[in-house]
């Protein structure tokens, strides 16, 4: 069974030369961003996973862009928490430390994590790229909204306009009653469980969505890796090079992830195969790497925003 003995962990961390971290949505939870699979995985009446696919985008690009415009807005409002900074500081003091993040929210980057030691497995909400087959256009884009038609009120779940027609006010009160705030709370995030949202906003017409300034015809899409899509080859290669260059791997930190998404989750076993001990930080004891934990490993239960700075100091 893993343990939570901080003294042995600290001693091992200090003596470790090759360290990986696998980060998930739980790392950003205390920055106010809902996780992917908890109740926070719901957006309006859609399961987030069902929207993060090429099929969903092809079927209704307006709806998918509303989903991503909302997440861009939330991520821009959010601030890196102490765990993001603690990981960036660890990278500064240990050049043999590499971070593999599944998160697309940009918070590790905003915590000044050294870019050469940060690998974005699933891309970024703030990259956009052209969907035209022959066009390679892409750019970083932090505009909010990215086009007027995606202004955040449209991306929010609007309740049926109240009898006095105060739809926006009703939306705000709806948000207030649901404890959803667009300005991230410092505490654990309000669940985005808005599954009782029945009347979806009309989708946004394709002509009003962001289009490619280069080829002039292609629709732009979020620069994230959707389910069923390959991870960026350059990212995979860089991580392979890091693993191959590691005679042994001493430690892998597994922070705020359900370890359900592959190939990201497989990096835990890759590290273990090179001798790594595993340290999990999660609020749910059951969410550990599928290969399980042994007495060589650690499980620190609690909010990553609180626990990570403690164990890395």
Q: What is the separation of C-alpha 136 from the centre of its chain, rounded to a whole number of angstroms?
A: 25
Query: Is the torsion defined by CA of 239, 242, 246, 251 positive or negative?
Result: negative
- Going residue by residue from 137 to 166, which x/- string records binding to ligand BV8, judged by CB under 6 A? ------------------------------
Does position 43 interact with ligand BV8 (CB under 6 A)? The reply is no
Instruction: Tell me the C-alpha to C-alpha distance, in Å, between residue 279 and each of 5, 6, 104.
Output: 11, 11, 23
Q: Among residues 31, 81, 99, 103, which is the contact residue for ligand BV8, using CB under 6 A?
A: 103
Instruction: For the beta carbon of residue 214, count every other beta carbon within 10 angstroms.
Output: 14
Residue sitting closest to ligand BV8 (CB):
26
CA-angle at 202, arms to 196 and 204, nearest 5°: 125
CB-CB neighbours of 240 under 10 Å: 11
For ligand BV8, the closer of residues 123 and 159 by Cβ is 123
Could you tell me the smallest distance in angstroms from the CB atom of residue 172 to ligand BV8?
Answer: 26
Is residue 102 near ligand BV8 by the rule CB under 6 A? yes
Q: Which of 257, 272, 280, 311 binds ligand BV8 (CB under 6 A)?
A: 257
Strands 251-255 vs 19-23: parallel, antiparallel or unpaired: parallel
Using CB under 6 A, which of 137, 175, 227, 299 touches ligand BV8?
A: 227
Q: Could you identify the residue written with the tokens 């394709």?
A: 206
Residues within window 12-41 making contact with ligand BV8, judged by CB under 6 A: 24-26, 29-30, 35-38, 41
Q: How far is the CB of 83 from ligand BV8 (least distance, A)?
A: 8
Contact predicate 257/283, CB 8 Å: no
The C-alpha atoms of residue 50 and residue 36 are separated, in whole angstroms, by: 11
Instruction: Candidates 287, 291, 296, 309: give the one binding ligand BV8 (CB under 6 A).
Output: 287
Q: Is 303 in the site for ligand BV8 (CB under 6 A)?
A: yes
CB of 159 to ligand BV8, least distance (A): 25
Which of 19, 258, 289, 300 is in the footprint of ligand BV8 by CB under 6 A?
258
Which residues have a catalytic role annotated?
Answer: 122
> Do 27 and 287 contact (CB within 8 A), yes or no?
no
Distance between terminal CA atoms of the chain? 25
Minimum distance, C-beta of residue 282 to ligand BV8, in the bound complex (Å): 5
Shortest gap between Cβ of 71 and ligand BV8 (angstroms)? Answer: 7
Q: Which residue lies nearer to ligand BV8 by CB, 95 or 142?
A: 142
Contact between 186 and 31 (Cβ < 8 Å): no
Q: In this structure, how many other beta carbons lie within 10 angstroms of the beta carbon of residue 80? A: 22
Q: Which helix (H) or strand (E) holds 280?
A: strand 277-282
Where on the chain is the footprint of ligand BV8 (CB under 6 A)?
24-26, 29-30, 35-38, 41, 49, 52, 102-104, 122, 188, 224-230, 256-258, 260-262, 281-284, 287, 303-304
């Amino acid at each position: 069974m893993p343990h939570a003995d901080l003294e042995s962990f600290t001693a091992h961390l200090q003596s470790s030369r090759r360290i990986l971290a696998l980060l998930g949505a739980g790392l950003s939870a205390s920055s106010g961003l809902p996780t992917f699979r908890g109740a926070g995985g719901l957006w309006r009446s859609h399961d987030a996973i069902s929207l993060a696919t090429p099929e969903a985008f092809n079927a209704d690009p307006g709806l998918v862009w509303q989903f991503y415009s909302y997440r861009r807005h939330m991520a821009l409002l959010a601030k890196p928490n102490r765990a993001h900074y603690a990981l960036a500081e660890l990278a500064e003091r240990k050049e043999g430390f590499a971070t593999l993040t599944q998160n697309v929210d940009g918070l590790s980057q905003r915590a000044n994590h050294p870019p050469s030691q940060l690998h974005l497995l699933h891309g970024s909400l703030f990259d956009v790229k052209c969907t035209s087959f022959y066009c390679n256009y892409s750019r970083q884009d932090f505009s909010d909204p990215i086009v007027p038609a995606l202004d955040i009120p449209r991306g929010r779940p609007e309740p049926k306009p109240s009898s006095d027609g105060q739809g926006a006010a009703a939306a705000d009160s709806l948000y207030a009653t649901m404890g959803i705030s667009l300005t991230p709370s410092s505490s654990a995030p309000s669940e985005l469980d808005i599954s009782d949202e029945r009347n979806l906003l009309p989708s946004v017409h394709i002509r009003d969505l962001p289009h490619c300034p280069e080829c002039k015809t292609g629709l732009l899409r979020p620069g994230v890796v959707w389910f069923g899509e390959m991870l960026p080859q350059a990212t995979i290669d860089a991580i392979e090079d890091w693993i191959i260059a590691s005679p042994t791997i001493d430690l892998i930190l597994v922070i705020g992830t359900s370890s359900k998404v592959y190939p990201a989750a497989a990096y835990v076993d890759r590290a273990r195969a090179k001798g790594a001990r595993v340290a999990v930080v999660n609020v749910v004891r059951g969410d550990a790497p599928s290969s399980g934990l042994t007495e060589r490993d650690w499980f620190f239960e609690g909010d990553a925003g609180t626990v990570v700075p403690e164990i890395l100091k």
